[in-house]
Amino acid sequence: MTTISTTSLLPASTEPDRNCPLCPRLAEFRAEARAKQPGWFNSPVDSFGDAEARLLIVGLAPGLQGANRTGRPFTGDYAGDLLYATLLEFGFAEGVYEARPDDGLRLVDCRISNAVRCVPPQNKPLPIEINTCRKFLAATIATMPRLRAIVLLGRIAHESTVKALGLRNAAAPFAHAAVHEAGNFRLYDSYHCSRYNTNTGVLTPKMFRDVFAQVRKDLG
């Protein structure tokens, strides 16, 4: 486990406007999606869960047919199946996950957000888009007064969160199951629970569960 020190965080708006223009490429992609699928959400996806939670999970970005369609992080695509099943298993969620934002699922002491709030083409945000959207991630972290544990799904979520905390990535390199102490927070790395990673065996359900077992053990 590495220990790194954080600089102070400056709170700003935690949720972007639904027509946020800051990333022109993503705004254009969003407009195209609205024209093609007017019944979909097709907007920046807000965080899900209570700001009083002690656990924050940071993913990469909304999936086109997942959160971009439904409007709730990780809801409606494969990654959500594994994530929500795991949260239910470790008591970070209650209810039944039915891949719909109105399924009644409730997060318990847990919040979910993304490093980039708008769906990017091919699930690949550009570095400038990751940098531009970081202010919303930083504000999300800064406005969670009880936050202690941050699970980072994949390298991009890891690196953007580390930067949002005012740290250098060299002091906290990404590795699956790595744990870093960062001031008041403990950062837990996991490979992203994407279909690609699970289909190729990069991430098994057990590897994923083990990360959350550690978080549960630490938070009590």
What residues line the site for ligand SF4 (CB under 6 A)? Answer: 16, 20, 22-23, 26-27, 44, 116-118, 129, 132-133
CB of 7 to ligand SF4, least distance (A): 22
- 147 within 8 A of 49, measured Cβ to Cβ: no
The residue among 21 and 201 lying less far from ligand SF4, judged by its C-beta, is: 21
The residue among 130 and 152 lying less far from ligand SF4, judged by its C-beta, is: 130
CB of 14 to ligand SF4, least distance (A): 11
Give, as one character, the DSSP assignment of residue 7: P
CB of 121 to ligand SF4, least distance (A): 12
CB of 135 to ligand SF4, least distance (A): 7
CB of 119 to ligand SF4, least distance (A): 9
The residue among 118 and 144 lying less far from ligand SF4, judged by its C-beta, is: 118
- 158 within 8 A of 59, measured Cβ to Cβ: no
The residue among 16 and 76 lying less far from ligand SF4, judged by its C-beta, is: 16
The residue among 120 and 186 lying less far from ligand SF4, judged by its C-beta, is: 120
CA 147/CA 95 separation, integer angstroms: 23
**β-bridge mates for residue 134, sequence order:** none
Greatest pairwise CA separation for the chain in angstroms: 48
CA 171/CA 191 separation, integer angstroms: 19
- 62 within 8 A of 118, measured Cβ to Cβ: yes
CA 158/CA 175 separation, integer angstroms: 9
The residue among 47 and 197 lying less far from ligand SF4, judged by its C-beta, is: 47
Q: Which residues neighbour 106 within 8 Å (Cβ) at sequence distance 6 or greater?
A: 93, 94, 95
Q: What are φ and ψ of residue 5, in 5° steps? A: -100, 145
CA 178/CA 167 separation, integer angstroms: 16
CB of 131 to ligand SF4, least distance (A): 9
